[in-house]
A and B are shown apart, each in its own frame.
Chain A
Amino acid sequence: MIRLLSLFSLLCFLACNTPTPPEVDTEKLPEKTTAATSKIPVVDYNGLAPIFTQKSDTTYVINFWATWCKPCVAELPYFLELHETYKDQKYKFIFVSLDFPKQIEKKLMPFLEKNPLPGEVIVLDDSDSNTWIPAVDPEWSGAIPATMVYNGDRKIFAEKSFHDFTELSDWVETLK
């Protein structure tokens, strides 16, 4: 039955004769959702660094997490809620994953398929942590979850878990 369904869906798609599948279209939307269908970039710190120094009127919310980190996963719903709250304002969400590159297909992609995140997901793979952790923030010991919010020169950083949406949004508001 499942096979029949798949075949039928495939036929429908072919019948549409659309050059690009819907997944690609969503990529073009201004607020993109990273689903498992998107290609997840893997970068070292040099590749990641530009996200910390954007000079614009956009507020960047950057969360360091990993699928193997339980408190990280637990606080993601509050980031979804935060994204919803600020959807009409200039906010950009970036989720920097510290999942092991070997586990992107096995762990990260299935996770994102079930739990699409409201922003970019980038895998950071850089073994020189003693150099890049202090570069992200001098106060950061390297434990995750950790979150940075910045707008131009104003920046806040927290090495902590957020236990509910209010705690997260109150903290984000302190940037203003």
Chain B
Amino acid sequence: MKNLFSFVLLLAISTLMFTACSDASKVAEDAAASAQETAEKTVKVVKDQTAQAVNVVNSKGKGYQVGEKAADFKLKNVDGKVVSLGDMKDAKGYIVTFTCNHCPYSVLYEDRLINLHNEMAAKGYPVIAINPNDPKVQPEDSFEGMQERAEEKKFPFVYLFDDNQQVYPLFGATRTPHVFLLDKDMVVQYIGAIDNNAKNPEAVTINYVEDAIMALEKGEKPDPNFTKAIGCSIKTKKI
């Protein structure tokens, strides 16, 4: 049976090839057409696999701006305890970071986020990591997935789950990772990236969050107080 199939395939290929000899340009067309056909088939499969609706909250005019006071929230940490900013009595500020498990840009920043917390929590600025994604859309970002990742990487900071997706829209987070540095009074002082080189920590020349904290420590306003970076859109079901 297998041999018969192979023979037919061979026959088909040879026919195609010999036709090619007579008309090279036609082959180009055929190849393009068949590539297109294959593409359509494959893309259809991709389409079916990812048919679940995915939505992105637009950044336009939504969420906290620098200078606005953030509302406190209560979210579940990977250890099962409910955490709110108000619980951290000694904090002089909060590095609220929307991040997740699946996004390559979040992964690129995991070690830097650990270092940032280790360095800054001692100064009164803990990292508050929040996963804003809906695991129904992005299964890797489930609460169990978060627990596993936190264990693997020994996250020294809280890793909270925005499971009703009510916190990230308040902040106006649009991507992961996306940092909102709050001061002691929960006023937003800086929004954006952790530093200026996602792909290569060695090539970083500006540590935006660190610099912003230094400015706050000196009683100054962070400059810049807003930066942009590539990240993964926040995954939510289509409304």
Q: Show the binding face of A for B, using Cβ within 8 Å.
A: 1, 4-5, 8-9, 12-13, 15-16, 18, 22-23, 25-26, 29, 33, 35, 68-71, 73-74, 76-77, 80, 98, 100, 114-117, 127-130, 133-134, 139-145, 159-161, 163
Asked if B91 is at the interface of the complex by the 8 Å CB criterion, the answer is: no
Given A16-B17, A144-B233, A159-B56, the answer on whether A115 and B42 have CB atoms closer than 8 Å is yes
Cβ distance B23 to chain A, nearest Cβ, rounded Å? 10
| Cα distance A172–B91 in the bound complex, in angstroms | 48
The chain B residue sitting closest to A25, CB to CB, is B28
Cβ distance B125 to chain A, nearest Cβ, rounded Å? 22
- SS class, residues of chain B in contact with chain A: mixed
Residues of B within 8 A of A144 (CB): 230-233
Q: List 24 A-B contacts (CB under 8 A).
A: A12-B14, A12-B20, A16-B24, A22-B20, A22-B24, A22-B28, A25-B25, A25-B31, A29-B32, A33-B32, A33-B36, A70-B137, A70-B235, A71-B54, A71-B235, A74-B51, A76-B46, A116-B38, A128-B196, A129-B196, A142-B174, A143-B174, A144-B233, A163-B238
B170-191, CB < 8 A from A: 174-175, 178
Which 9 pairs show the lowest CB-CB distances between chains A and B? A12-B17, A25-B28, A143-B175, A74-B50, A71-B54, A133-B228, A141-B59, A143-B233, A141-B174
Residues of B within 8 A of A143 (CB): 56, 59, 174-175, 230-234
| Cα distance A21–B229 in the bound complex, in angstroms | 41
Residues of A within 8 A of B32 (CB): 22, 26, 29, 33
The chain A residue sitting closest to B176, CB to CB, is A143
Whether B9 lies near A13 (C-beta < 8 A) is: no
Cβ distance B239 to chain A, nearest Cβ, rounded Å? 11
Whether B228 lies near A9 (C-beta < 8 A) is: no
- Contacting B228 at CB < 8 Å: which of A15, A114, A116, A140? A140
Whether A129 lies near B60 (C-beta < 8 A) is: no
Of A33, A35, A70, the most chain B CB neighbours within 10 A belong to: A70
Cβ distance A137 to chain B, nearest Cβ, rounded Å? 10
The chain A residue sitting closest to B55, CB to CB, is A161
Whether A161 lies near B56 (C-beta < 8 A) is: yes
- Contacting B17 at CB < 8 Å: which of A13, A76, A115? A13
Whether A71 lies near B200 (C-beta < 8 A) is: no
- Contacting B231 at CB < 8 Å: which of A114, A139, A142? A142
Known: A22-B28, A26-B35, A141-B228. 13 other contacts (CB 8 A): A5-B9, A12-B14, A22-B20, A33-B36, A35-B35, A69-B233, A70-B50, A70-B138, A74-B50, A129-B196, A142-B229, A143-B56, A144-B231
Asked if B145 is at the interface of the complex by the 8 Å CB criterion, the answer is: no
Whether A77 lies near B44 (C-beta < 8 A) is: yes
Cβ distance B103 to chain A, nearest Cβ, rounded Å? 8
| Cα distance A139–B60 in the bound complex, in angstroms | 7
Residues of B within 8 A of A15 (CB): 17, 21
| Cα distance A115–B39 in the bound complex, in angstroms | 5
